[in-house]
């Protein structure tokens, strides 16, 4: 029926999506209090424009972009600003955040939908609107979307890939969106395609989401979506990795150290496409997102539409999590997600899932590397993880860099597959961090 | 690790951020990934041991209780040596990873059934103490311990290591009327004497597949070894590239150099088939050359490794003094594995278009 796209390498962890893939998205009630971090994206944190005691409405800007690579932040409730200060962030740091007490009136700030039909608007105007609505890559990388959609004029984009792979186990938020808001995200894709002037626009979906593929294919028979196409992907991890996805769909390779735009591609998550639709058609800023709450200790797993800033604890309670057994809570998927140190952290724009686990750390007993080559076989970047890991572990940073340490995308497939249970990607991350620190130190020295 | 408040079940107020605290709960932190595949090193070793069971059973069928005795002695002294050395040097005990069991078993399958038990002990102690643990134990040895043990014994006790007796259900060579040597030394002698009879050798092929011929206890039954190989390929423990390129190289080289002068008749296939089935080639190619620690890590390197083993085996069998060449071929190729790995580095994703 379809040619299935794929890339070389990768792993097949158990999908664990059955628990939530058939559950309709429910809206989660706004909490009493939200904590909205000003840094929910890659780049400069937003600057707070509200202060203690201010009254804010839903969708009102509370933080202005702190630079070009930055994004504004909006309130997700109506109420009073209680404080602007340091709060725990899902990444484990303390960052500036705005704490707002919900007054329960759900009063909206005036939403400014686009003044003319989007088809008649210039790309610049659309990008401006996307920027104002604080849209960032919702697949996890949180790169500000308006930056991604403004490639330099010497880098024409011919291919737009809408990423519906959702290759991380457990997560079903994107899957549900593709089923429930098909028309919206397809329109979002068309808007993006218009902005980029891309000839080809493919919505790429893994073959374990047959119903989503069917739903989107059916919609595509509508003539207004004639410029879009569906690409069926083989289900494996990390099929949704930007570089792997581009390689699978177009057979091109993003140059080492380069960006997708260097080879004329842009990849955008389905949630982001939908957020663009909401921003352009309804004028809605990004103040809520769909989160999959699942995992072995979640008694009632759910797909919830959550206001940004809702504390994780509130959501876990609503999903009847067995706190007595709880050992670990992960935001995002199990392969690349971050383990939380406290449940007081809020949901942010990139929180695609909350995973409750009963294990401390999998594979505690570590064996010596037996050179089995499984990590080499599966590495989607075609590196030799075992070797790089050994170099990084021993502090031989130059050797590690020479063996392409910096090209690692940290997907964690090597660690997953290692029979010696060595956390390869951890040492590789450590090596990358040390090399970056070293390079930064050298740069400052040169400046002197 | 940070403490977080634990909610009581009585507190179901979803709207509060910091619910009632009555005891502390610890959340575990670790970097991603948070899931792992279940197969671990001991399971791999156990699967290889299981895959060797058909060969072991056939050795018991053809060579009787002595093969059980030799296997028990060899495995026992291998595990005992590993345990003692760990204990003596106050290192963590590593016998539970089953790699010593595997080394002992592989070594035992390389013994002739007549070998005195104490020679088996010497071989096992050498394999574990000098070839494996002296270099840092599992993962750090640069040559296959079992093969090193065998090479050591062949050099030290050549008579005992080549004193092959006839199996229970067949002649020693699988060729009626010829006795006193293994199938491999037979074909070698026949070629040297210039009285190679294709009929005689083709009739021996069936005996070679089943295993009722003379030789080391574990190497004679081609069917049992191939069955083990299938298990390992099915469990994705060995990379089929190594045995295929190894056996394929031996086959092609003997086919090209077969004595019949022709390449496209059935007689020309007898010598290469005979060489594949006879001697330790299948045992070596499936279980020894594929030893993860001492074989290359890159897919391309594994093919080069297999071809190198094949060329060396052919050279030793065809031109060398020994009838058998598998042990030394693999050991020699083990030594250049780091070199192979360095020169078969895969092209990384995006390297084609790497910008300066």
Q: Chain B contact for A365, CB < 8 A?
A: yes
Give the model's pLDDT for residue B204: 77
Q: Which two tokens stand for residue A51?
A: 């202060």
User: Which strands, in side-by-side order, build the sheet including A61-64?
Assistant: A47-48, A61-64, A73-74
For residue A366, the 8-state DSSP code is -
Q: Best mutation site among A314, A366, A367 for testing chain B: the one with the most B CBs within 10 Å?
A: A367
Residue A80, CA distances (Å) to A57, A62, A250 in order: 9, 12, 49
Residues across chain B: 356
| Residue B36 with chain A: CB contacts under 8 Å | 362-363, 415-416, 418, 421
Residues B211-231: what's their mean pLDDT? 90
| Residue B145 with chain A: CB contacts under 8 Å | none
Is the separation of the CB atoms in B272 and B317 below 8 Å?
no
Query: Where residue B28 falls among pLDDT bands split at 50, 70, 90?
Result: confident
Query: Where residue A384 falls among pLDDT bands split at 50, 70, 90?
Result: very high
Q: Is the peptide bond before B33 cis (omega within 30 degrees of 0)?
A: yes
Return the percentage of chain A with pLDDT > 90, whole number: 78
- Selecting from A253, A363, A372 the residue whose C-beta is nearest the C-beta of B292 gives A372
Return the percentage of chain A with pLDDT > 70, whole number: 98
Contact between B35 and A335 using a beta-carbon 8 Å cutoff:
yes
* Residue predicted with more confidence, B197 or A205: A205
* Residue predicted with more confidence, B14 or B56: B56
Q: Is the pLDDT of residue B267 over 90?
A: no
Q: Is the pLDDT of residue B10 over 50?
A: no
What ipTM goes with this model?
Answer: 0.87
Q: Best mutation site among B18, B34, B98, B239 for testing chain A: the one with the most A CBs within 10 Å?
A: B34
Q: Chain B contact for A42, CB < 8 A?
A: no
| Residue A386 with chain B: CB contacts under 8 Å | 297
* Among the listed residues A410, A188, A187, A138, the one whose alpha carbon sits nearest the alpha carbon of residue A292: A138
Task: Report the distance separating Cα A393 and Cα A371, nearest Å.
Answer: 16
The tens digit of pLDDT for each residue in A81-125 reads 999 999 999 988 899 999 999 998 888 888 777 777 888 888 888
CB atoms under 10 Å from CB of A412, counted, come to 29
Q: How high is the mean pLDDT of chain B?
A: 84
- Selecting from B2, B345, B348 the residue whose C-beta is nearest the C-beta of A342 gives B2
Distance from CA of A328 to the nearest CA of B (A): 5
Radius of gyration of chain B (CA): 25
The tens digit of pLDDT for each residue in A395-425 reads 999 999 999 999 999 999 999 999 999 999 9
Contact between B31 and A342 using a beta-carbon 8 Å cutoff:
no
| Residue A344 with chain B: CB contacts under 8 Å | 4, 17-18
Contact between A253 and B352 using a beta-carbon 8 Å cutoff:
yes
The tens digit of pLDDT for each residue in B85-95 reads 999 999 998 99
| Residue B341 with chain A: CB contacts under 8 Å | 387
Burial class of residue A428 (count of CB atoms within 10 Å of its CB; 0-12, 13-18, 19+) = buried
Q: Is the pLDDT of residue B269 over 70?
A: yes
Q: Chain B contact for A406, CB < 8 A?
A: no
Give the number of beta-carbon pairs within 8 Å between A and B.
Answer: 204
Is the separation of the CB atoms in A227 and A244 below 8 Å?
no
* Residue predicted with more confidence, A276 or B16: A276
Query: Where residue A358 falls among pLDDT bands split at 50, 70, 90?
Result: confident
Helix H, strand E, coil C: the string for chain B is: CCEEECCCCCCCCCCCCCCCCCCEEECCCCCCCCCCCCCCHHHHHHHHHHHHHHHHHHHHHHHCHHHHHHHHHHHHHHHHHHHHHHHHCCCCCCHHHCHHHHHHHHHHCCCCCCCCHHHHHHHHHHHHHHHHHHHCCCCCCCCCHHHHHHHHHHHHCHHHHCCCCCCCCCCCCCCCCCCCCCHHHHHHHHHHHCCCCHHHHHHHHHHHHHCCCCCCCCCCCHHHHHHHHHHHHHCCCCCCHHHHHHHHHHHHHHHHCCCCCCCCCHHHHHHHHHHHHCCCHHHHHHHHCCCCCCCCCCHHHHHHHHHHHHHHHHHHHHHCCCCCCHHHHHHHHHHCHHHHHHHCCCCCCCCCCCCC
B44, closest residue in chain A (CA to CA): A419
Query: Where residue B7 falls among pLDDT bands split at 50, 70, 90?
Result: very low
Q: Which two tokens stand for residue A153?
A: 């004029």
B346, closest residue in chain A (CA to CA): A382
Q: Is the pLDDT of residue A363 over 70?
A: no
Residues A237-262: what's their mean pLDDT? 92
Q: Is the pLDDT of residue B336 over 70?
A: yes
Return the percentage of chain B with pLDDT > 90, whole number: 53
- Selecting from B29, B33, B139 the residue whose C-beta is nearest the C-beta of A416 gives B33
Distance from CA of A255 to the nearest CA of B (A): 4
* Among the listed residues A168, A242, A261, the one whose alpha carbon sits nearest the alpha carbon of residue A204: A242
Distance from CA of A441 to the nearest CA of B (A): 22
| Residue A384 with chain B: CB contacts under 8 Å | 297-298, 345-346
Sequence-distant (6+) residues with CB within 8 A of B3 are B24, B25, B26
Is the separation of the CB atoms in B337 and B242 below 8 Å?
no
| Residue B14 with chain A: CB contacts under 8 Å | 29, 31, 314, 317-318
| Residue B1 with chain A: CB contacts under 8 Å | 341
Give the model's pLDDT for residue A187: 94
Residues B264-269: what's their mean pLDDT? 75
For CA atoms A19, A20, A24, A30, the dihedral sign is: positive
- Selecting from B4, B27, B297 the residue whose C-beta is nearest the C-beta of A376 gives B297
| Residue A318 with chain B: CB contacts under 8 Å | 14
Q: Chain B contact for A311, CB < 8 A?
A: yes
């Amino acid at each position: 029926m379809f040619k299935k796209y794929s890339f070389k390498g990768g792993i097949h962890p158990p999908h664990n999506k059955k628990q939530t893939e058939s559950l309709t998205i429910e809206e989660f009630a706004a909490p009493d209090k939200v904590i909205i971090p000003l840094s929910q994206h890659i780049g400069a944190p937003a600057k707070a424009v509200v202060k203690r005691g201010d009254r804010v409405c839903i969708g009102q800007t509370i933080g202005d972009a702190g630079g070009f690579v930055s994004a504004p932040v909006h309130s997700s409730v109506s109420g009073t600003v209680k404080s602007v200060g340091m709060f725990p962030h899902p990444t484990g740091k303390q960052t500036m955040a705005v704490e707002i007490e919900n007054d329960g009136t759900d009063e909206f700030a005036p939403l400014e939908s686009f003044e003319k039909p989007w088809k008649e608007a210039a790309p610049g105007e659309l990008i401006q609107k996307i920027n104002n609505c604080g849209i960032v890559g919702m697949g996890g990388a949180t790169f500000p979307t308006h930056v991604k959609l403004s490639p330099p004029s010497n880098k024409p984009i011919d291919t737009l890939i809408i990423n519906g792979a959702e290759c991380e186990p457990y997560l079903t938020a994107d899957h549900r969106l593709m089923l429930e808001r098909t028309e919206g995200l397809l329109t979002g894709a068309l808007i993006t395609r218009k902005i980029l002037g891309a000839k080809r626009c493919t919505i790429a979906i893994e073959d374990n989401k047959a119903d989503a593929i069917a739903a989107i294919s059916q919609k595509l028979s509508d003539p207004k979506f004639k410029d879009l196409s569906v690409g069926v992907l083989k289900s494996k991890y990390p099929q949704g990795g930007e570089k792997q996805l581009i390689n699978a769909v177009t057979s091109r390779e993003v140059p080492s150290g380069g960006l997708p735009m260097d080879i004329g591609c842009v990849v955008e998550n389905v949630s982001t496409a939908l957020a663009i639709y909401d921003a352009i058609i309804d004028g809605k800023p990004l103040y809520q997102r769909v989160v999959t709450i699942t995992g072995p200790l979640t008694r009632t797993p759910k797909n919830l539409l959550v206001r940004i800033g809702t504390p994780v604890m509130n959501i876990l309670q609503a999903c009847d999590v067995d706190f007595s057994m709880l050992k670990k809570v992960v935001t995002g998927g199990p392969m690349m997600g971050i383990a939380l140190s406290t449940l007081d952290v809020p949901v942010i724009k990139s929180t695609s899932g909350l995973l409750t686990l009963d294990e401390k750390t999998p594979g505690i007993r570590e064996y010596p590397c037996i050179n089995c080559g499984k990590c080499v076989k599966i590495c989607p970047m075609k590196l030799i993880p075992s070797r790089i890991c050994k170099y990084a572990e021993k502090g031989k940073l130059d050797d590690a860099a020479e063996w392409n340490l910096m090209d690692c995308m940290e997907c964690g497939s090597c660690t997953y597959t290692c029979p010696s249970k060595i956390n390869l990607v951890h040492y590789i991350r450590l090596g990358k961090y040390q090399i970056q620190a070293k390079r930064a130190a050298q740069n400052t020295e040169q400046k002197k | 690790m940070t403490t977080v408040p634990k909610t009581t079940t009585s507190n179901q107020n979803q709207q509060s951020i910091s619910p009632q605290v009555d005891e502390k709960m610890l959340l575990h932190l670790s970097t991603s990934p948070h899931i792992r595949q279940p197969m671990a090193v001991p399971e791999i070793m156990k699967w290889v041991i299981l895959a060797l069971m058909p060969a072991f059973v056939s050795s018991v069928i053809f060579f009787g209780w002595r093969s059980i005795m030799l296997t028990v002695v060899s495995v026992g002294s291998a595990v005992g040596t590993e345990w003692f050395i760990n204990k003596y040097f106050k290192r963590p005990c590593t016998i539970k990873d089953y790699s010593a069991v595997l080394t002992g078993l592989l070594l035992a399958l390389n013994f002739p059934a007549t070998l005195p038990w104490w020679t088996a002990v010497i071989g096992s102690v050498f394999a574990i103490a000098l070839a494996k643990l002296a270099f840092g134990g599992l993962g750090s040895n640069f040559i296959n311990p079992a093969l090193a043990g065998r090479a050591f014994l062949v050099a030290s006790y050549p008579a005992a290591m080549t004193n092959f007796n006839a199996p229970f259900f067949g002649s020693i060579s699988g060729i009626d009327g010829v006795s006193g040597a293994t199938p491999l030394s037979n074909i070698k002698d026949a070629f040297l004497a210039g009285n190679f009879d294709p009929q005689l050798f083709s009739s021996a092929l069936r005996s070679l597949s089943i295993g009722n011929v003379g030789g080391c206890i574990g190497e004679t039954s081609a069917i049992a070894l191939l069955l083990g190989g299938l298990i390992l390929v099915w469990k994705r423990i060995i990379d089929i590239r190594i045995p295929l390129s190894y056996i394929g190289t031996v086959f092609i080289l003997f086919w090209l150099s077969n004595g019949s002068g022709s390449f496209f008749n059935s007689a020309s296939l007898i010598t290469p088939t005979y060489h594949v089935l006879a001697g330790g080639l299948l045992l070596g190619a499936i279980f020894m050359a594929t030893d993860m620690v001492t074989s290359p890590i890159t897919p391309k390197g594994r093919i080069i490794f297999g071809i190198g083993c094949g060329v060396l085996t052919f050279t030793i069998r065809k031109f060398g003094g020994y009838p058998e060449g598998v042990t030394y071929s693999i050991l020699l190729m083990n030594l250049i594995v780091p070199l192979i790995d360095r020169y078969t580095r895969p092209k990384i994703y995006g390297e084609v278009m790497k910008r300066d």
